[in-house]
Chains A and B, each alone.
Chain A
Amino acid sequence: MSTLILGSAALAFSGFAATSITMDRHYADIHGRGKEAPAAARLRLRTLGWLGLLLSFMACIGASGWHIGPVLWCGILSLAAWTVTLLLQYHPRRVMQAAWIGIPAALLTATLLLRP
């Protein structure tokens, strides 16, 4: 149960992080003033970001069911978004690195969810 919730939190963070690092302001913060993300990278990271959020939702449902799961997910999303916001301000490059946590979290969550 709690492993799924942890996975969900990591995925929510990673999903938001992936979405945020291609946004104009944050991309410039990370890569230098005036730089803009290539369209392909933007599309790729955004898709991955949304997939992360979707999987994060499924993890909450897996952990707490259809009644409580969505409520839990909303709380986790808020926490994840605040973390990304603060991290983007004070350590923008870390966001890019930390976003990788989504890959192992996705594998773990998928395994737990698909386990018979």
Chain B
Amino acid sequence: MKDGLRQSMAWVHTWSGLLVCWLLLLVFMGGTAAYYKHEITFWMKPELHKAADAPSRVTPTESATLAVRELQQRAPKANAWFLDLPHERNPLIYASWTNPPKKGMTREERRAAFRTQNFTLDPMTGEHTAAPRDTRGGEFLYRLHFDLYYMSAIWGRWIVGIAAMAMLVAIISGVITHKRIFKDFFTFRPKKGQRSWLDAHNATAVLALPFHLMITYTGLVTLMFMYMPAPTKALYGTEQNAMFADVFPNAERVKPAKQSAPLADIAPMLLQAERAWGVAPTRIVVSNPNDANARVALHRPSGQQLSNIEPSMTFDGASGALLSETAPMSTTLDARAAIYGLHVAHFADTLLRALFFVCGLAGTAMVATGALLWGVKERQKYAKVLAKGGRVGFGVRLVDALNIGAIAGLPIAFAAYFWANRLLPVEMASRTNAEANVFFIAWGVAALLAQIRPTRAMWRFQLTAGAVLLAGIPVLNAFTTDSHLGVTLFGGPALRAVAGFDIVVLLLGLLLGWAAWWLGRKAKKQAAAKTPAQAAQTTPLEAA
């Protein structure tokens, strides 16, 4: 190691970061949004807002009984029923079911069928809500951040996993290479060009380091059976399902007895669980309903614990007898559940969820400033060439263009997704796919424009477009729904999620608008100092 550890690590940090940073931006933005995936989904189904905005006068037990009665009529022979009961982050009763797959059905067809097998009940009246529009809502953004899109989930997970491993390398090498990590701990010096970008990169990275390390590492652990298959292969060969059954006995599925038996009343089971836990169950899964081997699993939120595994009680669906409770887990499994739980943060209350969201934004800013920093540094090598009116090299141009397409282009894609949700016709066929397509068309156009003209004007144009689209969402919402800010701010607690969504996108839009304005001011200052022709050729970052 000729250069010494720190220099070598600087090299590792640069390249492990740069090669994956644009994908990481997508992952960070999608994952950050996913902390509010229920709220986003709710916002994206405005038909449900009215029903939710009434205080529930029905107890969880009554809700469940209502939904089960409905399921008995509509899907008595289903494989399984899934019920989500009203709780803090969910104002309505959601029910869905899976049917035994018919022969010759493709995976896509089964998924499409599943999307139609659900209904939503108003917990106040017990009646059906207005049919919500077909959308995947926040689930799309959540899946996007590890499955990607337009490819099989396995491919997506491998690609995201490799990016996450590179990210972990970048974090560790970044800490080693940061010579003044303590001396510069609180340092931010604006208006000093490269120095300012480095300070911003350090401040967003170092000051939220516990979060960045945690989220990257735990993200990898959530998919560890995929990324590290060797132990499973060695012990179980190709029988991966046998391993899952051994490791997660609670997830074991019972085969139907093919012998019909009426489902026992669900209300006593709910009461029993509520008495034991002190809180009502929020999720019910009935497998093999109306079969002698029916099982009713009641789940509750894990509460003041990190674990992602919701404590549950399983009842015999035919007799109504309690079969088992979540068995105490081994320390190893408990540790895994806590690590997994930290990533998905289901335990987080309002404040903690907001902190996770802010840290996620800081992670996005860390990746963005890192990507920009490479361009700023590399551009200096071309200072003389640029002064003579020459051009920067291919690498700098490519990175500049990718930076515009990801940093300014992705917010446009997110905003376009929400606009599509409100503007696409409600009765449109395969509407969920259309919404996702709008996301990628918007992103594709932004990325392509950036490749054609990676200039400061393009930065300003895309930042302004993102600002207008995001900040315009509350306005769009006011024109297309009855649950705009004027209503939601003064409505019941269930509408807080809708108001919160509008306010957060408005703030993010203002932030982008501020960035565009700031660039414009820089441009003017520079134009005053230099000849206009030269000013047009430099990018903003150099002058920042």
Residues of A in contact with B (beta carbons under 8 Å apart) = 5, 16, 20, 23-26, 64-65, 67-68, 71-72, 74-79, 81-82, 84-86, 88-89
Contact = CB atoms under 8 A, between A and B. Distances in A.
B186 A75 contact: no
A68 B4 CA distance: 40
Contact of A75 (B190, B203, B306, B355): B355
Contacts of B244: none
Nearest to B203: A85
Contacts of A71: 306, 342, 352
A68 B187 contact: no
A81 B358 CA distance: 13
B207 A75 contact: no
Given A67-B304, A85-B203, A89-B188, A72 B352 contact: yes
A51 B338 CA distance: 29
Q: Would you call the interface of chain A mostly helix, strand, loop, or mixed?
A: helix
Nearest to B345: A71
Contact of A68 (B210, B214, B304): B304
B208 to A, nearest CB: 4
A20 B304 contact: no
A64 B304 contact: yes
A99 to B, nearest CB: 13
Interface residues of B, number: 26
20 contacts: A20-B185, A23-B183, A23-B185, A24-B183, A64-B304, A68-B347, A74-B210, A75-B211, A75-B356, A78-B210, A78-B211, A79-B355, A81-B185, A81-B186, A82-B203, A85-B187, A88-B188, A89-B188, A89-B189, A89-B190
Interface of B: 183, 185-190, 203, 207-208, 210-211, 214, 304-306, 338, 342, 347, 351-352, 355-356, 358-359, 362
B190 A78 contact: no
Contact of B186 (A20, A65, A68, A74): A20
Contacts of B203: 82, 85
A99 B305 CA distance: 33
A89 B196 CA distance: 12
A25 to B, nearest CB: 7
Contact of A26 (B186, B356, B359): B186
B306 A25 contact: no
B10 to A, nearest CB: 23
Contacts of B214: 74
Nearest to B353: A75
B168 to A, nearest CB: 18
A74 B348 CA distance: 13
Contacts of B306: 67-68, 71
B354 to A, nearest CB: 9
B304 A74 contact: no
Given A81-B207, A82-B203, A72 B189 contact: no
